[in-house]
Every structure is written in C-alpha cells, then in structure tokens.
Amino acid sequence: MSTVVPRLGWAAVAGALAVLPAVVGPYYTNVFVTFAIFAVFSVSLNLLLGYTGLFSFGHAMFFGAGGYGTALALKHVSGLALLPAVGAGVLAAVVLALVLAPIVVRVSGTAFAMLHLAFSQVLYVLALKLRAITGGEDGIGNFPIPPLNIPGVASIPMKDSPQNFYYFAIVLLALSLWLMWFFTKTPFGQVQLAIRENARRTDYLGFKVPQSKAVIYLVSAAFAGVSGSLYGLFHNLVSADGAFGALVSFAPIINIMIGGIGSFMGPVLGTALFLVIEEVTSRFTERVELVIGLIFVLGIMFAPLGVLGTARKLRQKWRADREARASVRRTA
Amino acid sequence: MDQTTAMYVAQGLHGLAYGMVLFLIAAGLNVIFGMMGILNLAHASFFMLSAYIGFQVVSITGNFWLALLLAPPATAICGVLMERFLLTKVHAFGHMGELILTLGVAQIILAAVKGVWGTESLPLKMPPILEGRLTLAGLDYPIYRLFIIALALAILAIMSLLLYKTRLGKIVRAAVSDAGMVNALGINIPLVFMLVFGIGIWMAGVAGVAIAPILTVFPGLADQVGMDAFIVVVTGGFGSLLGAFVVSIIFGLLSSYGVQFFSQFASVLIVGFMAVVLAIRPNDLFGAKDA
Amino acid sequence: MNNILETQGLFHDFSGLQVLSDVNLHIREGERHAVIGPNGAGKTTLFNVVTGTYAPSRGQVFFKGRDVTGLPPNELSRIGMGRSFQITSTFGRLSAFQNIRLAILSKRGIRFSLFRSVDKMLEITHETDAVLERINLTAERDRAANALSYGKHRALEISLALATDPELVLLDEFAAGMSRDETHYAVELVRRLTEGKTVVLIEHDMDVVFSLADRITVLHHGEILATGTPAEIRQNQAVKDAYLGDLEV
C-alpha cells in the first residue's frame, strides 16, 4: 500500500505535464519551461549548498558554460544532432568544473563563495571580450536547432515548434531531477551530508574529503550545464548577460532561500514562488533589484530557512508542544 | 622629456590615480574583513552612493568641496546603520548570512539610486581650481588626477598615524588580531566595530566623490569599480593593508597600461592575474579567517 | 610481542612553543595504554600528531611497523587507526543511525558509490543496527545526534571511532563531562567494545585509568616522565612530584 499512493501521485503529475500545453496555452507553457529550467538549475546548486554545505555565488558559470557549449557546437559542427549538442554543453560545464575543482575543494566557507564570485566574473568578462568566439555582448544567436532524431522511429522538429520543445525539455529536466534525487540517496549522498555536518570527522572516518567534494562539484556542474544548454536552445540565443549575468547567478540562491535549503524539493518550490513574485511585481515596478534585495535582506533576517524549512520547524515545534502537553497530562 | 616618455608617464599617473582610489575602497573592505570576518558585498555600493549624494550636493550648492565634505560621512552613517540594525541580526548564520544580507543591501542601494536619479550617466563637475593641466619637464598632465593621488596619500597618512600612533589605533589593531581578547579586556568591541566600519565606508565614500568627475556617476559604478576593489583585496591578502596597497598600485598601472596596449584584454589580464594568485595560495589568503 | 604503535624522537612546536619533546612511545599490541599528565602536557597534541592532524616538527610515527609519519587522517583510518574526540564531534543533524552507518560504509570501502540506493543496502542497515544495539542506542536510532542526551551522545562519539573496526583506537577523554554513574557505564562500554583491540586513552580520571589501563605513560611539559604498570607509576617519585601526590586513589 505504501508505494501505491506515491506512485499514483507521480502518475498524476506525469499526466498533468503531458496535457499542460493543451490546457494552458503557449504563453504559460513557455513560462513553465523557464520554471523547469531554473528549478533544475537551483536544485543543482542545492546539491552543493544544502547537501554539502558549500556556498557558491557563481553557479551561473556552469549554466553559461552549458549554454555556450551547446551554441558553439551547433554553430560550428554542421549536422550535429540535438542530444549530442546538449551533451556538448554538459561537457563544457564539466570540463570547467574539472579545471576549478583542484582549487575550490581545498577551501570552504567564505573562501569558496568568494572564489566563485570571482571566477564567474572572469567568465562574464571573457564572454564579453572574446567577441570572435562568443559574439561579445550580442552573444551567439540563431544557431541551427536540429530536430530530435529517434533512429528508425521519428524525427521531431524543434526549431519552430514550442510544443515539441516543451516535451523535449520537460523529459530531459525531469530525468535530471530524478538523477539528482537518486544521487542524494546513494551511499555517496550520505558522505555529502557528512561533509556538511562535520568535514573533519568525515576525514577521520576514512573518507577522502577533497575528492568527494570534487565529485559533488562535477555532478552539480553537469546538471547546471543541462539547464543552461536547454535555456540557450529555448531562446535560440546565448549571451554574456543571459548566461553569466547577475540575475542568473542570484536566481538559484533566491530560489533556494525562498523554498528552503534543507530539502530536495525546496528549490523547486522556491523557483515557482519566485517566478510568481517576479510576474506580480513586474506589473508594479521595473526594479528587479529592489525585489531581489528585499528578498535577500528580509529573508535572511526573518525566514532564513525558507518556506519549507520554516514549515518543517513549525511542524516540529507543534509536535514537541503536543508531546509536552501529553506528558503533562500523563503525569498529572 | 620626449613625447613617448611623457605618454608613458602620463599613463602611469593615470594608473596611479586609479590605483589610489581602489586602495581607498579596498582598505576599508580589508580592515572590515580582517576584524569582523565580514566580507561586505555592499561596500562598493556605498562607494557609488556617495558619488550620487555628492552629485546631489553639487547640484544644489554648486560646490565640489562641500560634496567631498558631506557625502562621505552621510554614506558612512548609512553604512553604520546597516551594520548596527541588519548585520548584527544575521551573525547566527555565519558568513553565508552576512554575504546574502550585504548582497541584498547592495541590490537595494542599486534600486534606490536608479529610482531617485535615473539610469543616465550624471556629470559631477570638478572645482575650477583643479581644472586645467600642469606642465612640468615636458609633461602636460591634468591637475585633477594629481589631486586624487595627493588626497589618497593624505588619507593614507592620517589613517596610518591613527592606527599606529594613537591608543584607539592600538585597540583597532588588536581587535583585528583577536577581537574576542580585546572584548575580554573590557573594551566595547561593538563600538570599535561600528567605528571601524564607519571609517571604512567613509574612505570608500571619499573615493566615490573623488573619482566621480572622471568616471561620471552611473548605476554601474558599483559593479565596475567594486569588482576591481574586490580583486585587489583578494590578491593583496585579506587583512594585509600593505598587500592591498601594493596590489592596488599594480592593478591601477596594469589597467592603465593594459587599456593602452591590450585594449579589450586588459580586464581579462587583471582577472587572470588574480586567478593565478589564488591558484597558488588560496588557503593563505583565507585560512586565517575561515571557520 | 609487537609494538603496534611507536613514536621515535617526536618533537612538535607551535610557532616556537615546544609542545612535544623527544617523545618515544611504545604501545604493545592488544594492550590498553593510558596517557596521563597535567593540563598542557601535550597529550592531545600527541594524539593529533599520531592520527595525522598534523605532521610532527621532527621525529617519526610507526604503525604496525610501517612509517606513517605525516599521513592524513583518512589514510590512517583506512589502515586501521580510529580516534575519538574530547569535545564531541559527530554529525549533529544526522540521526544516530546515519552517523554509525557512515562508519560502516567506510569500513566496507564504500566511499564513492553512486549507483545504489543506500537505504536498500540491507546488510549495511543490519550491521549498523547491530552496533546501535551494542551501545544501547536502538531506541534513539532515528533521533538527531544533537538531540541525544550527553551520555548517549558521548557513547555515539566513541562508537563512531570504533565502528570502522580499527585495530588501534585512540580515545581522548572518552568520559569527559560524565557523572560518576555515567563514567562507570562508559568504562564498561569501552571495555566491551575494545575487546581484541589496542587502545590508547588520554585520561584525567584516575578511576578510569586504574580500571582500564594495562600500562600508563605520564607526559609532563611535552616529555615522557615515566612509563609502566599502574603499580609502578603509583610508586614513581618523579610522577608523584609532578602531580603533587594526586595519584592516590
């Protein structure tokens, strides 16, 4: 019985996702794709942040690498198929992580955060300045988007078919989400948590901490790359601002803060909520910075655990109160 | 001197001026981090805010000197308010909390200046005395930049005097070394923190008004100069004022000569420099202050 | 008779402050060896050097006959050394079960496993539950380590060091902060759990030392003052002087 209900639940979700474009129309379908992309991006950051305790301000690096990797591959390799193109983006992100890993796994805390801020700035500047490769401020646009080829079965065009792209993206993103979820459930996922709680003890128990951090780092980067790659395909444009800009860097942090850092789905919820906040406030003000700033300041001061975290704390408090009252009654 | 040498010297002085401005900002950031372990991501935003307030003062009074006198303290007060009422509330969450909070404040300041003054570049007129150029030994150089260098050196001298020749300075130096101990000795550490924070922001504020006539006042100021200052602090070594000074100068010169000879790659060069330093000694820089 | 652990000419200083001076420790396989000494004698530093927290300024450490000087803690753990801490150092927000399970995973060499669900690894779960049972933490299996009572938290702390099944375990004041009763209980626990292992313990509580130790080494100002059986140490004049007669139990 215990596995039937969740399974029914997931089937319902799958069903809802399948009919979504037909139900909500093209505008909201696109909004949903954006949501899904940023949800996966935020969860990938949370693998570092919530699960391992490594705070990165510059996760946009890997998002951008994914975008540029895919765009450049499609632009320069004629006849490249769709999935390999996404693969190229993921590869770019992973290579970047490999290059940085030796430095970043030996630092923690503030150092880690600031190093990432610095590195992502480097990449932003590089993206702007290396015009010949990256197209500078204008970025790379209008690169060919090949159809999805399932050999022997079908060739599904993507370029001007938002509906097809929706299904493609959702499948890829859902798969990513599931893989990340599974990752946290492996023995290695326990090592992640251990590092977050007590890196020193983890070392004393026989685990290689820097190497473990490196693995997590690579995995997190890979999935950020997936989301970045899809983002580039979605807009058929990759640019410095869109890939490495401040908003892209801050968005996952905001999403994690709003949704709650301590749970897997927290960032997903946070992404949804932030999107709603953005939609609503954009009707009143253009000052995105104000919204972000206020969320950061008020959030960290009054609700640092985010929605899910605060909810969990409240639930624990209620439970503890109930137990306390019950035990008083028993002894009375 | 001949034309080519004069050009090199002029570029050098440009770089020196910029380096000095960077140092004013970096020094405050450095000391704040050294003493309180807080990396104030809003520091550059205060730098920018001061430039805007300075602009407003000049708009109203037409007097640059008044701007230079009033804007930095006004900004410093804002900074201290942030420290007192916001930062203290998030100590419980460690560095991450402070980073997020100061980041949030930076965004709010950005929104505020855009809201009040718009997104256009605003000019801040330098005082008539400092307009014009100085001709010396075949070198023809704008007086204003020399003024900036002199101003920065003067502040540096005063700060050094305060730090090394006064009792307060001794307390601050001790607090940078071991705040807990100083607190245990009965000295009001929160007050010292507030003071140092305020002075750090004041220096950034002076830098803001000083460089405004050259860079003009625009919302991207914080990001542009802030990144440079941050690089200086990181490569110069957290807590090392001398390191920050040396790197500021190098940085200023690099960016000035770099622009001349490497054009678009100047910034890449600089950031590359930082990446190399970090790659060689990341723990050295952060180790002392890390949890 | 083998020395499972030996230090030769161990010196260590911190920025000019000499903390260990020419320490030559000999720990026999299978014995329970206490290291005692006044505060500041260098006991924890000795532990830190032996367990790889830092490399000694001078000198060598031999484990099972092999030079292990300067090896990092994780490597030492993998070749059979365990260590507990005076100030409880567990995985605070993880449950007692998760804490012990980590040690079991490491013991079994499962450190980079990415392709299985850990909750489905029944053998691991059984082994972890068995350990929890032996330390009487079965009821608190799913409680966060930080939420355990002090005594139980200490039991978890010690158990973490032992769960990787090391041949040599170093216990740093395992009964720190415990009441009389809790200490008695802890001593029995340690005795039970360290059957067949070699134990080196730092201790202040002489009751504990005399109940458990086969031999004692006395450290004073970073130097070894004396090594011997409890009876020998009780008689030792130099030791008595250092402790001002505190050894009378």
For the ranges A108-117, B15-24, C121-130, the one whose mean pLDDT is highest: C121-130
pLDDT of residue B291: 29
pLDDT of residue A309: 75
pLDDT band at B270 (very low <50, low <70, confident <90, very high): low
Nearest to A214 by CA among A233, A186, A188: A188
Q: What secondary structure does DSSP assign to B200-213, as a single string?
A: HHHHHHHHHHHHHH
Beta carbons of C74 and C41 less than 8 angstroms apart = no
pLDDT band at A62 (very low <50, low <70, confident <90, very high): very high
Chain A residue with minimal CA distance to C125?
A187
pLDDT band at B285 (very low <50, low <70, confident <90, very high): very low
Kindly tell me if the per-residue pLDDT of B290 is higher than 70.
no
Distance CA A158, CA A17 (A): 18
Beta carbons of C92 and C144 less than 8 angstroms apart = yes
- The larger pLDDT score, comparing residue A182 to residue B136, is at A182
B108-158 tens-digit pLDDT: 999 999 989 988 888 888 888 888 888 777 777 888 888 888 998 898 888
Nearest to B266 by CA among B223, B236, B233, B228: B228
SS3 C61: strand
- The larger pLDDT score, comparing residue A149 to residue B58, is at B58
ipTM: 0.92
Per DSSP, A147 falls in state P
Q: Average model confidence (pLDDT) for chain B?
A: 80
Residues of B in contact with A57 (CB under 8 A): 99
C172: enclosing H helix or E strand = strand C168-172
Kindly tell me if the per-residue pLDDT of A49 is higher than 90.
no
pLDDT of residue B286: 40
Whether A185 and C98 lie within 8 Å, measured CB to CB: no
Mean pLDDT for B239-258 is 77
Kindly tell me if the per-residue pLDDT of A1 is higher than 60.
no
Kindly tell me if the per-residue pLDDT of C75 is higher than 90.
yes
Kindly tell me if the per-residue pLDDT of A109 is higher than 70.
no
Distance CA A64, CA A119 (A): 12
Given a contact as 3+ CB pairs under 8 Å, which chains touch A?
Answer: B, C
Beta carbons of B284 and B29 less than 8 angstroms apart = no
Rg (CA), chain C: 18
SS3 A203: helix
Chain B residue with minimal CA distance to A299?
B101
Nearest to C63 by CA among C47, C45, C51: C51
Distance CA A110, CA B282 (A): 12
pLDDT of residue B287: 37
pLDDT of residue A207: 95
Residue A281 at interface with chain B, using a CB cutoff of 8 Å: no
Q: What secondary structure does DSSP assign to C11-43, as a single string?
A: EEEETTEEEEEEE--EEETT-EEEEE-STTSSH
Q: Which of A182, A184, A205 to mutate to test the interface with C (most CBs of C within 10 A)?
A: A205
Whether A205 and C89 lie within 8 Å, measured CB to CB: no
Per DSSP, B125 falls in state P
Neighbours of C50 (CB within 10 A): 25
**Which residue do the tokens 């790379």 mark?**
A140
Q: Which of C54, C84, C118, C157 to mutate to test the interface with A (most CBs of A within 10 A)?
A: C118
Residues of A in contact with B264 (CB under 8 A): 129, 131
Kindly tell me if the per-residue pLDDT of A18 is higher than 90.
no
pLDDT of residue C1: 56
Return the percentage of chain A with pLDDT > 90, whole number.
34
pLDDT of residue C29: 93
SS3 A162: helix
Residues of B in contact with A106 (CB under 8 A): 282-283
**Which residue do the tokens 């946070």 mark?**
A270
Q: Which of B96, B238, B273 to mutate to test the interface with A (most CBs of A within 10 A)?
A: B96
Beta carbons of A103 and A228 less than 8 angstroms apart = no
For the ranges A71-80, A132-141, A167-176, the one whose mean pLDDT is highest: A167-176
What residues form DSSP beta bridges with C62?
Answer: C6, C67
SS3 B18: helix
Q: What angle do CA C146, C207, C80 make, to 5 degrees?
A: 60
Whether A289 and B39 lie within 8 Å, measured CB to CB: no
pLDDT band at B269 (very low <50, low <70, confident <90, very high): low
pLDDT band at B278 (very low <50, low <70, confident <90, very high): low
Q: What secondary structure does DSSP assign to C176-241, as a single string?
A: TT--HHHHHHHHHHHHHHTTTSEEEEE-S-HHHHHHH-SEEEEEETTEEEEEE-HHHHHH-HHHHH
Q: Which of A59, A131, A137, A297 to mutate to test the interface with B (most CBs of B within 10 A)?
A: A297
Q: Which of B100, B234, B283 sits opposite A118 (nearest CB)?
A: B234
Whether B108 and A119 lie within 8 Å, measured CB to CB: no
- The larger pLDDT score, comparing residue A66 to residue B257, is at A66
Mean pLDDT for B170-196 is 78
Q: What secondary structure does DSSP assign to B32-91, as a single string?
A: HHHHH----TTHHHHHHHHHHHHHHHHHHH--HHHHHHHHHHHHHHHHHHHHHHTGGGGG
Residues of C in contact with A202 (CB under 8 A): 102
- The Cα of A278 is separated from the nearest Cα of chain B by a number of Å equal to 15
Residues of C in contact with A216 (CB under 8 A): none
- The Cα of A130 is separated from the nearest Cα of chain B by a number of Å equal to 8
pLDDT of residue C194: 93
Residue A303 at interface with chain B, using a CB cutoff of 8 Å: no
pLDDT of residue B275: 63
Distance CA A200, CA C176 (A): 20
Q: Average model confidence (pLDDT) for chain C?
A: 91
Could you tell me the pTM of the whole model? 0.83
Report helix angle B221-236 to B3-36, nearest 10. Answer: 80
Beta-carbon-side half-sphere exposure of residue A175 (alpha carbons within 13 Å): 8
CB pairs under 8 A between A and B: 122
- The Cα of A61 is separated from the nearest Cα of chain B by a number of Å equal to 15
H helical segments located in chain A: 4-49, 60-76, 82-104, 110-129, 131-134, 162-185, 187-204, 209-235, 240-244, 246-259, 266-282, 288-302, 306-331
Whether B86 and A118 lie within 8 Å, measured CB to CB: no
